[in-house]
Structure 1
Amino acid sequence: GGDGGDGGDGEGGGGDGDEPETPATGIWPRRLERANWVLLGLTAIATVITAIRYFTEDVDAGHTQRDNWAPVLVCAVLFALSLAAALLRPFLLTTKRCVLMSVAATTVFVLGTVTIWQVVNNDKNINTIVGTAVQSDADTKRVLGQYFGPKVMSGLKLIPTGLFIQGAKFTGPQEVEVNGYVWQRYTKDIPETSRAVTFPEAPDGYSMDEVYKVDLPNGQQVRGWHFNLTLRQKFSYGKYPLDKQNIWLRMWTVSAFQPEMIVPDFSSYPPWKYDRLGLDQSIVSEGWSPYYTAYSYQEHEYSMTYGVRPFSGPNVKAPDMYFNIGVARSYAGPMTGKLLQSLFIAAIMFLALFVYTKDDRRNPRFGFSTWTAISFAVSLLLVVVVDQTQIREIVGDTSLSYMEFFAIAQYVVIMGIFANAIILGTETKIRALEWRDNLLPTLLYWPLLIGLFFLFTVIVFAN
């Protein structure tokens, strides 16, 4: 039982792949199997512990899913791999057992990746709201009181302002068009020069069409405008196509130098909650699904006086009101399209491995040569680069997006194929590559490719 050399070949009758296989014997298969049983026990315990912690912890504020899913999922994947190895026993090095283990490992990584997609997509994160959110008149007065203090608050004239959004469309990676209605409700002490609202971050935010003016029985007046704004905002596409964005509309009064402040007109809505209030229920937002709206205040610091008085310092700080629209990308289309394209390229690379051989009887049939293999690897590399470039054109961001990590995994695999071809074309003797005429790279291909993608998925979305 001490002859470890027998287990290295994986063949009972020698290196000829045409002879019947017999399970590998020797000390190393037994050691690997024992080590796997230990790993199986440890991962089972770790999975139970992390699962208990996951399901007993509260959901963090601003999320609808628990965010500590990574430890339990990684432990579960390792447990599944160990369980598959215990059942299939690839340590015996028969082709059937090794192929089944390769398929099982690939399946585990696929299921783990899809699980992450579902968890991330179902987490309706509202932490993208700009500044401090308010949900009632009491919240508004409390937040403004923290900014201004009671003395200034007592002299402020509050102008209730509301919005109704009918459409939102991304016209570029950092540009979005929003259209809808905005209204304001004025008391008699609001002068005519203050009766309007602007969107300072939109080039056309100062030109809107007034569509109605209503005098109320209580002496107040309501004015409404229709707007069609083009907003340039900084969006992050690091998690494309599972990204969620916040479209915000920043608002000012037209009388910026008067003691006036616009506030949400909560009386015109049902009791506010993080839902789709203020949105047309049939809103058109191509490729995106709105899932929350919110009013908020964000403090801004100004190092000038707009010319109305000499600057004497310090910088002036004042809060501005925002209307936030949280949108989640409809990821099925982009995900399916790009993955099908990438998987097609990966399948071609996989089929190429069946051509790489040192068997002189098969070589004339396949026409294998080192130069042919290198040329093929370079061609595939160019295809993957073009595929990645298309993704970067879509997101228009300088940082890496999630979908690009599949291309990175393909780069790693292509380099492995390249190295494999070089070694096969030389006189270098590597028993692992010579086993059953270069079967090992074929067995490792899909587990390595999908496993890397699973690892990148955990890294990207666990943050």
Structure 2
Amino acid sequence: MTNPEVPVPPPPPEEPGTDPAPGQPEPVASEAPATGRWPHLLERANWVALGLTAAATVLFAVRYFADKVDTGHTQRDGWAPLMISGVLFALSLSAALLRPFLLTTKRCALMATAATVIFAVGIVTIWQIVAHDMETSTMVGKPVNSLAATDKHLEQTLGKAYPKFRKIPTGLFIQGAKFSSPEEVEVNGYVWQRYTDDVPETSRGVTFPEAPDGYDLEQVYKAKTTDGLTVQGWHFNLTLRQKFEYERYPLDKQNIWLRMMTVSAFENEVLVPDFSSYPPWRYDNVGLDQDIVSAGWSPYYTGYSYLGHKYTATMGVTPFASNFLTVPELYFNIGVARKYAGPLTGKLLQSFFIAAIMFLALFVYTKDDKKNPRFGFSTWTAISFAVSLLLVVVVDQTQIREIAGDTSLTYLEFFAIAQYVVIMGIFANAIIIGSEAEVKALEWRDNLLPTLLYWPVLIGLFFAFTVFVFAK
């Protein structure tokens, strides 16, 4: 007598978000809309986001390339909206192709990798835009690059009194510039003036009012020119105290300016650039020694400009009057760009190794009792680890503050802020894992979610801070 076959019940349907067994193809049910409501809704929302970001990227790209380059810049300014929309479009496109909504390990890992690469490419692109913008908008006051432009500006500034002023042609040749502190720069070179015979000796010379500790001004030559004028030249060494902005360090650009006044202060005399002693003026390195010494910096423009200062005293030369005239003062500007490769590479290497150590720590945090004896995981170990990393980042930030002085937060310090956020997140993750609390998101695949989100969150914060600093 044979026993009837006992029917074998069908295997239970595989839950969405589980990986197939090794060597087996991924079940179709895990990718079909019927596997769950939320994957389907998220995928539809992503398609909407993909369309919106694609339209925004095209719109901002058209506007970016249609706009003219602003005066004082060599790059267009409207890159920030284009960069943000482009990154969001790339993220939506990656999500549409990789479909991480199905919550399989492979798909989520690929999406995390794609997001990290997209953010990193966005950061490097912004660096290139900022580094190649040879802006001259940092010049003090009103730039002038010819004698005609000088006459026009002085006539507009001085009005009817302009014909009464004696113009003294003055020129500069810079041989060296070196930052000795965040607010001081040492400059040396030559300054000369050309005079007609009616210029008295008391009017011959130039002063640098922004040299707080005095300066050496040594006459090195005096001669007659072919056009009958007298030229007199001096060699100078200055230590200038100026306020520089380091918010973009190490991708910052600074303007070193030399403010000049006549030695006969508050009389009807004005210094004018001696453009006849230079080739046709362009905002490049005219007036600089080809072998200029500028440690850590690269000069990329020079230019003359005027800025009027309103004094509340006549220095005893004349009685003060309500209609006291403010004379425009001549400036020589030197635009310098920091050589950023060294500081940026050093910071990136340090940040990468700290980030890699924090990332590896996520593989130790587990609720699996079988793994705990092997890894030696404990809440106190996690606290000690987080504190030690915080100390390393704090010391590095202190060194940056020494370079930037008392300015506001620099760009590299935002790297430290991003690391603070991630370290605190890892610390909170370890506390929750070590407690009795049940958080499904952390229990999924034994703390896999924080591991997948780590690099996209960290590099995403770097990208957000990069846009915030350089788009201002």
What TM-score, normalized to structure 1?
0.94
Partner of 2:407: helix, strand, or coil? coil
Q: What amino acid sits opposite 1:361 in the alignment?
A: K
CA drift of 1:402 comes to: 0.6
Matches within 5 A, 1:51-450: 51-150=61-160, 152-203=161-212, 207-313=216-322, 316-450=325-459
Instruction: Tell me the distance in 1 between the aligned counterparts of 2:281 and 2:267.
Output: 29
The list of structure 1 runs, each at least 4 consecutive aligned residues, that deviate by more than 6 angstroms after superposition, is none
3-state SS of 1:208 partner: strand
Distance between the aligned counterparts of 1:209 and 1:352, measured in 2?
64
- The aligned amino acid for 1:453 is F
List per-residue Cα deviations over 1:95-142 (Å, max 9, x = no partner).
111111111100000000000000011111111110001111111111
Please, which of 31, 41, 50 is the counterpart of residue 31 of structure 1? 41
**1:406–1:217 Cα change, 3 Å:** closer
Q: 1:292 to 1:430 in 2, by over 3 A?
A: same
CA contact (8 A) 1:11 1:21 kept: no
Structure 1 counterpart SS, 2:352? helix
1:315, CA displacement in angstroms?
Answer: 5.8
Structure 2 residues without counterparts, runs of 5 or longer: 1-13
Aligned residues, how many? 454
Secondary structure at 2:251 match in 1:
coil
Cα shift at 1:188: 0.6
Q: Is the 2:297–2:338 contact (alpha carbons within 8 Å) kept by the matching residues of 1?
A: yes
**Is the counterpart of residue 49 in structure 1 residue 59 in structure 2?**
yes
Inter-CA distance 454–12: structure 2 relative to 1 (3 Å threshold): closer
Moved more, 356-365 or 371-380: 371-380
- 128 and 50 in structure 1: CA distance in 2 versus 1, 3 angstrom threshold: same
Q: CA deviation at 1:6?
A: 4.1
Determine if contact 2:212/2:241 at 8 Å carries over to the other structure.
Answer: no
2:469 match = 460
Say if 1:279 and 1:78 are closer, same or farther in 2 by CA, change over 3 A.
Answer: same
- Asked if structure 2 preserves the Cα contact closer than 8 Å seen for 1:193 and 1:254, the reply is yes
Structure index of larger Rg = 2
> What's the offset of the Cα at 1:257?
3.6
**Residue 4 of structure 2 corresponds to which residue in structure 1?**
none
Q: CA contact under 8 A between 1:302 and 1:316: conserved in structure 2? A: no
Deviation at 1:216, TM superposition (A): 2.1
Structure 2 Cα separation of the partners of residues 126 and 345 of structure 1? 38
- Measured after TM superposition, the shift of residue 390 of structure 1 is 1.1
The 3-state SS of whatever aligns with 2:138 is coil
Q: Distance in 1 between matches of 2:307 and 2:313?
A: 18
Q: Is the 8 A contact 2:215 2:236 kept in 1?
A: no
Residues in 1 aligned to 2:324 and 2:25: alpha-carbon distance in whole angstroms: 84
Aligned residue number for residue 18 of structure 2: 11
Check whether the contact 1:102–1:444 (CA below 8 A) recurs between aligned residues: yes
Shift of 1:205: 5.2
Find the residue that maps to 2:216 and give its secondary structure: coil
| 2: CA distance, partners of 1:412 / 1:153 | 60
Please state whether the residue corresponding to 1:270 is helix, strand or coil.
coil
Check conservation: 1:21, 1:94, Cα contact below 8 A: no
* Contact 2:270–2:328 (Cα < 8 Å) also in 1: no
Q: Deviations over 1:41-83 (max 9, x none)?
A: 2111111111111111111111110000011111110111111
Instruction: Find the aligned partners of 1:217 and 1:85 in 2 and give their Cα distance.
Output: 75
Q: Cα offset for 1:397?
A: 2.7
Q: Distance in 2 between matches of 1:219 and 1:448?
A: 71
Distance change (3 Å), C-alpha of 1:236 and 1:197:
same
Cα distance, 1:204 vs structure 2: 5.6
CA deviation vs aligned residue, 1:332-370 (integer Å, no higher than 9, x gap):
111101111122111111111110000011111001111
Q: Aligned-pair distance for 1:433?
A: 0.4
- RMSD over aligned CA atoms reads 2.0
**Cα offset, 1:313, TM superposition:** 3.6
The 8 Å contact of residues 303 and 315 in structure 1, kept in 2 or not, is answered as: no
What SS does the corresponding residue of 1:403 show, helix, strand or coil? helix
Q: Which moved more, 1:381-390 or 1:113-122?
A: 381-390
Q: Is the 8 A contact 1:147 1:319 kept in 2?
A: yes
> What TM-score comes out, normalization by structure 2 length?
0.92
The answer to whether the Cα contact below 8 Å between 2:363 and 2:451 also exists between their aligned partners in 1 is yes
What is the DSSP-based 3-state SS (H/G/I as helix, E as strand, rest coil) of the residue aligned with 2:249?
Answer: coil
Greater CA drift, 369-378 or 432-441: 369-378
**Cα distance in structure 1, aligned partners of 2:324 and 2:250:** 40
Query: In structure 2, what is the Cα distance between the partners aligned to 1:346 and 1:12?
Result: 28
Q: Which amino acid aligns with 1:65?
A: Q
